[in-house]
Structure 1
Amino acid sequence: MWDYTDKVLELFYDPKNQGEIPKTDEPGVKLATGEIGSIACGDALRLHLKVEVESDKILDARFQTFGCTSAIASSSALTEMVKGLTLDEALKVSNKEIADYLGGLPEAKMHCSVMGQEALEAAIYNYRGIPLATHDDDDEGALVCSCFGISESKIRRIVIENQLTDAEQVTNYVKAGGGCGSCLANIDDIIKSVQQESTAPTLNNYGVKVATNIAISQQQSPRPLTNVQKIALIQKVLDEEVRPVLIADGGDVELYDVDGDHVKVLLQGACGSCSSSTATLKIAIEARLQERVSKNLIVEAVEP
């Protein structure tokens, strides 16, 4: 018997916001849906959002889920958490915050909170008509767990974001290794690789020693980044993770200035003239920098 909190049991027995959002012709309002998981694998979640177009605010959120007590409670909690938020604010909701809202989840059920976070991202990016940029590499790279279709990229991401230290925790968060178990040794190797990267300093273009993995270096370091370190990390993320994606679509970005938590960039090529340049700025650039460098960063475009 799992040791569920009172909040988990409350939302399981009396889930809030269950079902679809009915379609209406209400002006200035759009609906969005994000779906994650598979019934064949045991859990599936479909998240529905009602968004006020002008303000980007989530007016309503509902869910349909196939899964266990934790899946239902996590989905219900998520809908309560995001109502009233703007889409950008909702993108910052983490799986840890979903679990905290519930007073915690059994570690073996943490994958339910991850599923909620990913369904939310899928719904928002579907609404904006943009590919899922934040985790667009999850399906790339070598397939590690064939039982659940989990790639090395996804395992690395979940290890970094949740500071996981062993294969059993990875199974709890994304189910990898929970089938035949033949991939558990490979998962251990990935964890060791992430840990080594987080402690091995490298010299960047500014001559500053920084950890290869930005997310873990911040989590483990008790000292805040200096301005020089922050600029160096921002430049690294732009060069290695953002620019290749934009260049592939005929655009580009250049770091212009960093003033505290305000990052100013120049959008170039197709990005500068595209009607969705604001979405590119917030999703492809700001969200990635918030994830990799600091959640407090705000990205603004400046005129060339």
Structure 2
Amino acid sequence: MFARSLFSSTRPSIVRSIKPSLTRAYHPKVIDHYQNPRNVGTMDKTLTNVGTGLVGAPACGDVMRLQIKVNDQTGIIEDVKFKTFGCGSAIASSSYATELVKGMTLDEAANIKNTTIAKELSLPPVKLHCSMLAEDAIKSAIKDYKTKRTRVTLGPDATASTNA
């Protein structure tokens, strides 16, 4: 259902039938990230150094979860995981985004624009929403991490007063 559902070992005939059409419709970088997605998985979202972003696009049904693990002392993103339910471009955008943010500071990652992702993957205009989802997922994960850190440093009531 998530990132590699079409490529499970129970469906090898589907993979063979899809491959030729993929190579005609998508840039090789999209195909590579779709067939060999990087950093697929999950982290324990209850950890205070893990931020989780969950975003979706109602128009096409794509849903993306991206998680970051941050070194609390340095503010550097040490690990990133994702799971995406969606088209090849959504999976590729998620995969590339995880590679992009790993090793960045929170501020650097927060400044990533969807155009960077779209340009790297050569996404056509009709698939730009996939790169927008990836940007939104990164920003949402960072926001979740910062909210958790505020609770840890100021206490559980701090979030309620800052959101009022």
TM-score, scaled to structure 1: 0.39
The one-letter amino acid of 1:43's match is D
Shift, 1:42, TM fit: 1.0
The CA RMSD measured in Å over matched residues stands at 2.3
Cα distance in 2 for partners of 1:18, 1:71 equals 13
Greater relative contact order (CA < 8 Å, ≥ 6 in sequence): 2
Task: Please point out which of 109, 117, 125 is paired with 1:107.
Answer: 125
Distance 1:38-1:5 versus aligned 2 partners, 3 A rule: closer
- Identify the structure with the greater strand proportion: 1
Cα distance in 2 for partners of 1:41, 1:9 equals 20
2:68 matches 1:46: no
Structure 2 portions without partners, runs of 5+:
1-20, 149-153, 155-164
Shift, 1:116, TM fit: 0.4
Identity of aligned residues (%): 45
Who is 2:138 aligned against?
120
The one-letter amino acid of 1:13's match is Q
Cα distance in 2 for partners of 1:24, 1:117 equals 23
Cα distance in 1 for partners of 2:83, 2:31 equals 18
- Identify the structure with the greater helix proportion: 2
- SS of equivalent residue, structure 1 residue 49: strand
Who is 1:11 aligned against?
33
Task: Please point out which of 70, 91, 110 is paired with 1:91.
Answer: 110
The one-letter amino acid of 2:130's match is C
Shift, 1:3, TM fit: 2.6
**Hey, which bits of structure 1, 4+ residues long, moved more than 6 A?**
none
Conserved 8 A contact 2:49-2:70: yes
Task: Please point out which of 56, 61, 66 is paired with 2:80.
Answer: 61
- SS of equivalent residue, structure 1 residue 110: helix
Who is 2:52 aligned against?
33
Shift, 1:106, TM fit: 1.5
- SS of equivalent residue, structure 2 residue 145: helix
Which of 1 and 2 has greater Rg?
1
Structure 1 portions without partners, runs of 5+:
131-274, 276-304
Shift, 1:101, TM fit: 2.2
Shift, 1:120, TM fit: 0.6
Count of aligned residue pairs for this structure pair: 127
Cα distance in 1 for partners of 2:28, 2:86 equals 19
- SS of equivalent residue, structure 1 residue 129: helix
Cα distance in 2 for partners of 1:42, 1:92 equals 26
* C-alpha distance after superposition, 1:69-111 (max 9, x if no partner): 0000000000000000000000111001111222x10211110
Who is 2:10 aligned against?
none
Cα distance in 1 for partners of 2:59, 2:119 equals 28
TM-score, scaled to structure 2: 0.71
* C-alpha distance after superposition, 1:194-215 (max 9, x if no partner): xxxxxxxxxxxxxxxxxxxxxx
- SS of equivalent residue, structure 1 residue 36: strand
Alignment of 1:149-168 (within 5 A): none
The one-letter amino acid of 1:42's match is G
Conserved 8 A contact 1:47-1:62: yes
Who is 2:15 aligned against?
none
2:99 matches 1:80: yes
Alignment of 1:78-227 (within 5 A): 78-102=97-121, 104-129=122-147
Who is 1:20 aligned against?
42
Distance 1:41-1:15 versus aligned 2 partners, 3 A rule: same
Conserved 8 A contact 1:39-1:66: no
Cα distance in 1 for partners of 2:124, 2:119 equals 12
Shift, 1:21, TM fit: 2.3
